[in-house]
Amino acid sequence: MTKTVYNFSAGPAVLPKPVLLRAQAEMLDWHGSGMSVMEMSHRGKEFMSILAKAEADLRTLMSIPAEYKVLFLQGGAIAENAMIPLNLLAGKGADYAITGTWSQRSVEDARPYGDIRVVTSNAADNFTHVPALDSWTLNRDAAYLHVCTNETICGVEFLDMPDTHGVPIVADMSSHILSRPVDVSQYGVIYAGAQKNIGPAGLCIVIVREDLLERASKLTPAVFHWKTQAENQSMINTPPTYGIYIAGLVFEWLMAQGGVAAIEQHNIAKSRLLYDYIDSTDFYNNPVAKANRSRMNIPFRLQDESLNDAFLKGAEARNLLQLKGHRLVGGMRASIYNAMPLEGVQTLVDYMKEFEKSHSM
Ligand SMILES: Cc1ncc(COP(=O)(O)O)c(C=O)c1O
């Protein structure tokens, strides 16, 4: 018997148990092939069918329009921070919105490649809200506008976009992809590292509108050249095959849950449970503006931070794991991705109440 834990890690993160059980059952012999998926040639018919099914299911789950390509790449989201300007700038400047530490990092990573203009920033406000969309100083000649729609560290989430007058929006959705419906056609590019709502680390999904594939710099490495990868089914190099296989199982699981609209209802219920409790007491607090609070990553602080270690120790004793906040910001953080059950959040809230009771004056 494995012990039951609730894993609140921001990523790599909890995966659906049925997915892990299925991977276990198929580990040595995938569908009568006599091989593990890990052992298969990426160009063999077995793996090609796994890739095709994963892409088709992702297209269904996100209602991805036909004019978008779906790429399964290595390198994670941070590699794409550099590959976005290489694939898209084409000698122009680009606009970047800073709404948290990840979008700030995207700016730093993109700067060496061209004229990177910060059009809004909430840094002075400790990344706790999304600045009013009509205050963003957008440039109509920009190659693209980059945003991070869910800030994993700061807990800021938003999907309302400013009117860019046709400038394509490039969105890092690493930590909330598939957690709620998204209108893909609003974006030129959506990218996401897999290790939160999709599967294991090592896989990055890039969804890119076809007409944007013609802009890449000659300096773009072939493995990150979106057009080349799109023309070669993401196989210009060996793709992260096992990660793609697990992602495919996660997509099947998500469809069995009723798809993204259904999982969104679970995510609303889970996040409401935790926020409502945090807001009901001064013992804990979450500083993010209510309209911009993430459903996936919920940072919170104890009013008396000298109790942090005791809080974490008590949590661990109850198998509530990985609640320590990111090293950049401290405090606590509960990441409650699609695979986190409501009981996990309820158990956390029960523990927080109990801790408050036993540590209040
Ligand atoms: C929003 C966001 N962007 C980018 C990254 C970086 O991803 P990776 O380390 O896979 O490159 C993360 C990782 O946690 C993230 O949460």
Q: Is 281 left (phi over 0), alpha (psi -120 to 50) or beta?
A: beta
Q: Which atom of ligand 1 is nearest to the CA of 153?
A: 16
- Closest residue by Cα to atom 7, ligand 1, is 77
Active-site residue (options: 102, 136, 226, 253): 102
Same domain, 122 and 40: yes
Q: Helix, strand or coil for residue 119?
A: strand
Q: Which atom of ligand 1 is nearest to the CA of 151?
A: 1
Banded pLDDT at 114 (limits 50, 70, 90): very high
**β-strands 93-98, 115-121 pairing:** parallel
- Closest residue by Cα to atom 5, ligand 1, is 77
Q: Which atom of ligand 1 is nearest to the CA of 81?
A: 4
Number of H helices, E strands in the chain: 9, 14
Ligand 1 pocket test: pick from 80, 108, 152, 335 the residue with the most ligand atoms within 8 Å of its Cβ.
152
In the 8-state DSSP scheme, what is residue 167?
A: P
pLDDT of residue 328: 86
**Domain count of the fold of the chain:** 2
Ligand 1 residue neighbourhood (C-beta within 6 Å) = 11, 76-78, 102, 148, 152, 172, 174-175, 193
Tens digits of residue pLDDT in 321-357: 999 999 888 999 999 999 999 999 999 999 999 999 9
Tens digits of residue pLDDT in 17-40: 999 999 999 999 999 999 999 999
Q: Please give the distance, rounded to the nearest whole angstrom, from the Cα atom of residue 295 to the centre of ligand 1.
A: 17
* 163 annotated active-site: no
Banded pLDDT at 3 (limits 50, 70, 90): confident
With respect to residue 1, please indicate whether it lies within any of the assigned structural domains.
no
What would the two tokens of residue 4 be?
């039951």
First to last CA, the chain: 41
In this predicted structure, the answer to whether residue 244 has a pLDDT above a threshold of 80 is yes
* 196 annotated active-site: yes
* 227 annotated active-site: no
Same domain, 173 and 282: no
Same domain, 222 and 95: yes
pLDDT of residue 102: 98
- CA–CA–CA angle 185, 186, 188 (5° rounding): 80
In this predicted structure, the answer to whether residue 87 has a pLDDT above a threshold of 90 is yes
**C-alpha–C-alpha distance, residues 58 and 144, integer Å:** 24
Q: Please give the distance, rounded to the nearest whole angstrom, from the Cα atom of residue 68 to the centre of ligand 1.
A: 23
Assign residue 269 the CATH number of its domain. 3.90.1150.10
Same domain, 57 and 168: yes
Active-site residue (options: 196, 227, 270, 324): 196
Q: State pTM to two decimals.
A: 0.98
Same domain, 140 and 108: yes
Q: Contact 194/201 with Cβ under 8 angstroms? A: yes
Phi, psi at 204, each rounded to 5° = -125, 130
Q: Contact 300/323 with Cβ under 8 angstroms? A: no
- The DSSP H or E segment spanning 50 is helix 45-62
Q: Please give the distance, rounded to the nearest whole angstrom, from the Cα atom of residue 78 to the centre of ligand 1.
A: 6
Percent of the chain's residues with pLDDT above 70: 99
pLDDT of residue 49: 98
Same domain, 236 and 325: no
Residue numbers of the domain that contains 137? 19-256
In this predicted structure, the answer to whether residue 178 has a pLDDT above a threshold of 70 is yes
> What value does the mean pLDDT of the chain take?
97
Residue range 87-108: mean pLDDT, rounded: 98
In this predicted structure, the answer to whether residue 1 has a pLDDT above a threshold of 70 is no
Q: Please give the distance, rounded to the nearest whole angstrom, from the Cα atom of residue 177 to the centre of ligand 1.
A: 12
Q: Which atom of ligand 1 is nearest to the CA of 78?
A: 11
Same domain, 175 and 308: no
Same domain, 41 and 99: yes
- Closest residue by Cα to atom 4, ligand 1, is 77
Same domain, 182 and 309: no
Same domain, 243 and 281: no
pLDDT of residue 301: 97
Tens digits of residue pLDDT in 193-219: 999 999 999 999 999 999 999 999 999
pLDDT of residue 297: 98
**C-alpha–C-alpha distance, residues 120 and 225, integer Å:** 29
The residue from 212, 231, 256 where one domain ends is 256
